Amino acid sequence: MAKVVSSKAADIPHRKRAVQGVRLFISENVMNDMIWHSEIGGENEVMGLLVGRTYSDDEGIYVTVEKAMTSSLLSDPVSVRFDSESMSELIDGMDCLAEGESITGWYHSHPGLGCFLSETDVRTQEGIFGDECGFAIVVDPVQQEIAAFEVSEGKEVTVQFVMKED
């Protein structure tokens, strides 16, 4: 089974980040994939998992997102979940992660509603990542917005991110 990002220092390679003060770096291709996926979802929400690598440096822990993966979804304008009948394809994809890759976050859309974490999103984020380093990306294709979050003490915290060229 794929590993969800862990902040255990012994597991994390040391590498200086490209931009000081930023904890989240997202591949341009992944950014385009998330935006495209949210646009083709129309008025229904979409979601997927983010795959990347976790590093540490003198500032602390940071993440680079290198891939996005999803499967068939059951969704409407205000909710989304993975279709249980197609979960095996998602799990197979997670089992094929390269050495050092892990699930570093997830993304979903809020068509026409703006970028925020709902109470359900906060519970989902806490359930997947707990107090570990992991990020939630929200895309609003109608308002053409995108934002990154983490959860601390049950509340959403906006996270600055940088899109990196592939």
14 within some domain: no
| Cβ atoms of 145 and 114 closer than 8 Å | yes
Q: Is residue 9 part of a domain?
A: no
Task: Report pLDDT for 33.
Answer: 97
- Whether the CB-CB separation of 51 and 70 falls below 8 Å is answered with no
Whether 12 maps to a domain, the answer reads: no
Rounded to a whole number, what is the largest CA-CA distance in the chain?
44
Mean pLDDT of the region 132-158: 94
Domain count for the chain, please give it. Answer: 1
Is residue 152 domain-resident?
A: yes
On whether the CB atoms of residues 23 and 79 are closer than 8 A, the answer is no
pLDDT at 1: 44
Q: What are phi and psi of 61, to 5 degrees?
A: -100, 140
What does the pLDDT look like over 44-103, one tens digit per residue? 999 999 999 999 999 999 999 999 999 999 999 999 999 988 888 888 888 888 888 999
Q: Answer yes or no: are the C-beta atoms of 32 and 158 closer than 8 Å.
A: no
Asked if the structure places residue 15 within a domain, the reply is: no
Residue 7 placed within a domain: no
- Which range marks the domain in which residue 146 is found? 21-164
Decide: helix, strand or coil at residue 106: strand
- Whether 130 is in a domain gets the answer yes
The pTM of the full predicted model, rounded to 2 decimals, is 0.90
Mean local confidence (pLDDT), 140-158: 95
CATH at residue 47 = 3.40.140.10
Residue 2 clears pLDDT 60, i.e. is over it: no
What pLDDT sits at residue 8?
A: 53
Q: Strands (DSSP E) along the chain, which ranges?
A: 24-27, 47-57, 60-69, 73-76, 79-82, 102-109, 135-140, 145-152, 155-159, 161-164
In a domain, 40, yes or no: yes
